[in-house]
Amino acid sequence: MKIEIIPEKCIACGLCQTYSNVFDYNDDGIVRFADSDEKVQIFSEDDDILTAVKFCPTKALRSSL
């Protein structure tokens, strides 16, 4: 599955990292991938990542299968 981060929409609430450790934050608290500065990454299907995407309050995370 492809996961996209849209940092302009992030409000730094911290919810995504509580669901999955693939997410981290920059110095301003804005979401980023833990292991990359890329905005799009491909992952095996993972329920924790999908939960983070689903419950992001601003839709700063997007997924496509």
The yes-or-no verdict on residue 14 having pLDDT over 80 is yes
**DSSP string covering 39-59, please?**
SEEE----HHHHHHHHH-TT-
| pLDDT at residue 65, as a whole number | 77
Q: Bridge partners of 2?
A: 42, 64
Domains of the chain as residue ranges with CATH: 2-64 (3.30.70.20)
Measured over the CA atoms of residue 33, residue 36, residue 37 and residue 40, the dihedral's sign is: negative
Residues 6+ away with beta carbon under 8 Å from 35: 22
Q: How does pLDDT run across 20-46, given as a tens digit for each residue? A: 999 999 999 999 999 999 999 999 999
Phi and psi at residue 28, to the nearest 5°: -95, 5
The pTM of the full predicted model, rounded to 2 decimals, is 0.91
